Amino acid sequence: MTRRYKDILLLLTARGLRGFGDGFAIIILPAYLAALGYDAAQIGLVATSALLGTALLTLGIGFVAPRHDLRALLMASAGLMAATGLVFPQFEHVGLVVAVA
């Protein structure tokens, strides 16, 4: 296996795992928010902001990717995702949760 093939395989695997994490989070998120007592409209607002944030981040990375190191971008986006996951449970006010999402 060539070095280039290994790099591509690693990048695609990492992207797939990140996508799985995004999908899993968006399934768990409404249940978590419902357990906190959020109503359906608030849950929809938070879920929508989380999905829009992910979409905008993906588009932004797509635009800057040709000019930057792909590994660094992948690590930065994974770090941002992890930080969001760590900070998210710290807030219960819907406005702060939407801002973090």
| Amino acid occupying residue 49 | S
Give CA–CA dist 10/81, Å, rounded: 19
CB distance 50 to 101 below 8 Å: yes
By residue range, what is the domain housing residue 65? 3-100
pLDDT for the residue 42: 93
Q: For residues 81 and 49, which has the higher predicted lDDT (pLDDT)?
A: 49
Q: What is the pLDDT of residue 88?
A: 77
The predicted-structure confidence for 25-73, as pLDDT tens digits, reads as follows 778 888 988 998 999 999 999 888 888 888 888 888 888 888 888 778 8
Closest residue by Cα to residue 94 from 59, 46, 58: 46
Question: Considering only CA atoms, which of 39, 31, 22 is closest in space to residue 94?
Answer: 39
Which DSSP symbol is given to 38? Answer: -
- The beta strand positions in the chain, using DSSP E, are none
Total tally of structural domains belonging to the chain: 1
